[in-house]
């Protein structure tokens, strides 16, 4: 049985460090089974496997200890590129925030010098149900999240507090970490099928940049059959964030 996919972590992806321009490359993966295919691969490169790891999802499917699974991924399979999600409703309990649930995973990843991407939302973090909103927030608009909505205002405050908390607890250990804000924000997927507005994403970007001006920030899009159309659509929607960061002269973005 494949040790990834829906049984453990959800996705597996290639990180390509290309040394020579390739003649032609196409990359596919089957999300549910996490089986990667590369067609007509003709390049000199180093290929590294990476994975998204969700301890909550591991617990949900009844597997062994999530930390033990994480150790298998790193120590036995040699995978060091790991995207790790931090869910709002797991951090904020009774309007107080704490990283207690995630600390043992973060400590392990950072101690072993893994190449970590932290998906911090606030609202959308990878793995179902996608939107992870604390229960005290009610009346969520299921169509479009605008920058002026009550949910957006809650998320701005939480994101700022979370970034400050991460800085207090981990400090310089986060210097090599890439951060991801909302997961697939322009794709209507999840138990609340909402699309996030450009203005909302821009406000999150500003908050992030003000707290961590030198950190890498990753944006992503959904993968489906008309990928190339959606990729350029997503890049267009991210342009406002791009230009904002460019004006700060500290542009440091990753768009996979």
Q: Quick check: 147 pLDDT over 80?
A: yes
Q: Please indicate, yes or no, if residue 112 is contained in any of the structural domains.
A: yes
Residue 13's domain comprises 1-70
Q: Starting at the edge strand that comes first in sequence, how are the strands of the sheet with 11-18 ordered? A: 11-18, 45-53, 81-85, 115-119, 178-180, 216-218, 253-254
pLDDT classification of 89: cutoffs 50, 70, 90: very high
Higher pLDDT, 188 or 248: 188
- Mean pLDDT over 149-154 rounds to 93
Q: Please indicate, yes or no, if residue 239 is contained in any of the structural domains.
A: yes
224/228 Cα distance (integer angstroms)? 9
Would you state the structure tokens that stand for residue 40, as one six-digit string? Answer: 């007509």
Do residue 108 and residue 149 come from a single domain? yes
DSSP line for 152-221: HHHHHHHHHHHHHHHHHHHGGGGTT-EEE-SSSTTS--SSS--EE-HHHHHHHHHHHHHH-TTSEEE---
Q: How many CB atoms lie within 10 A of CB 232?
A: 11
Question: Maximum distance among all alpha carbons in the chain?
Answer: 55
Do residue 125 and residue 40 come from a single domain? no
Q: Please indicate, yes or no, if residue 75 is contained in any of the structural domains.
A: no
Do residue 218 and residue 192 come from a single domain? yes
Q: Quick check: 10 pLDDT over 50?
A: no
Tell me which H or E stretch contains 51. strand 45-53
124/104 Cα distance (integer angstroms)? 22
pLDDT tens by residue, 23-36: 323 333 333 333 33
> Taking the complete model, does pTM exceed 0.85, yes or no?
no
Would you state the structure tokens that stand for residue 230, as one six-digit string? Answer: 């959606």
82/90 Cα distance (integer angstroms)? 20
Do residue 106 and residue 181 come from a single domain? yes
Do residue 16 and residue 84 come from a single domain? no
Last residue of a domain, one of 13, 43, 70: 70
Would you state the structure tokens that stand for residue 216, as one six-digit string? Answer: 């890498």
Return the CATH number at 153: 3.20.20.80
Q: Quick check: 245 pLDDT over 80?
A: no
Say if CB 220 and CB 183 are below 8 A apart: yes
pLDDT tens by residue, 43-85: 455 667 789 999 998 888 877 799 999 999 999 989 999 999 9
Do residue 140 and residue 58 come from a single domain? no
Do residue 58 and residue 96 come from a single domain? no
Do residue 52 and residue 111 come from a single domain? no
Q: Please indicate, yes or no, if residue 191 is contained in any of the structural domains.
A: yes
Do residue 230 and residue 107 come from a single domain? yes
Would you state the structure tokens that stand for residue 58, as one six-digit string? Answer: 């591991």
Q: Quick check: 256 pLDDT over 60?
A: no
Last residue of a domain, one of 70, 101, 118: 70
Q: Quick check: 149 pLDDT over 50?
A: yes
Domain count, the chain: 2
Counting every residue written for the chain, the total comes to: 256
Q: How many CB atoms lie within 10 A of CB 97?
A: 14
Do residue 217 and residue 90 come from a single domain? yes
Q: Please indicate, yes or no, if residue 136 is contained in any of the structural domains.
A: yes
Do residue 59 and residue 92 come from a single domain? no
Residue 232 is predicted with a pLDDT of 52
Do residue 215 and residue 172 come from a single domain? yes
Q: Which residues contact 167 (CB under 8 A, 6 or more apart)?
A: 174, 211, 212
- Mean pLDDT over 227-256 rounds to 53
Say if CB 182 and CB 219 are below 8 A apart: no
pLDDT classification of 42: cutoffs 50, 70, 90: very low
């Amino acid at each position: 049985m494949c040790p990834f996919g829906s049984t453990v972590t959800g996705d597996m992806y290639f990180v390509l460090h290309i040394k020579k321009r390739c003649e032609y490359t196409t990359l596919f993966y089957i999300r549910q089974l996490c089986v990667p295919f590369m067609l007509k691969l003709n390049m000199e490169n180093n290929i590294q496997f990476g994975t998204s790891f969700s301890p909550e999802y591991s617990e949900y499917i009844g597997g062994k200890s999530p930390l033990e699974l994480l150790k298998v991924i790193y120590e036995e399979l040699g995978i060091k590129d790991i995207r790790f999600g931090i869910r709002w409703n797991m951090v904020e309990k009774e309007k107080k925030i704490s990283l207690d649930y995630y600390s043992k995973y973060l400590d392990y990843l950072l101690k072993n010098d893994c190449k970590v991407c932290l998906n911090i939302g606030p609202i959308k973090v990878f793995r179902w149900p996608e939107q992870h909103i604390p229960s005290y927030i009610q009346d969520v608009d299921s169509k479009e999240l605008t920058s002026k909505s009550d949910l957006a205002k809650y998320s701005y405050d939480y994101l700022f507090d979370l970034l400050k908390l991460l800085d207090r607890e981990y400090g310089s250990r986060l210097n090599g970490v890439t951060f991801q804000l909302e997961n697939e924000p322009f794709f209507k997927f999840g138990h609340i099928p909402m699309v996030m507005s450009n203005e909302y994403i821009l406000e999150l970007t500003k908050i992030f940049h003000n707290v961590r001006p030198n950190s890498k920030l990753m944006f992503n899009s959904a993968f489906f059959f008309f990928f190339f159309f959606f990729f350029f659509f997503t890049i267009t929607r991210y342009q406002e964030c791009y230009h904002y960061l460019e004006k700060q002269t500290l542009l440091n973005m990753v768009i996979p």
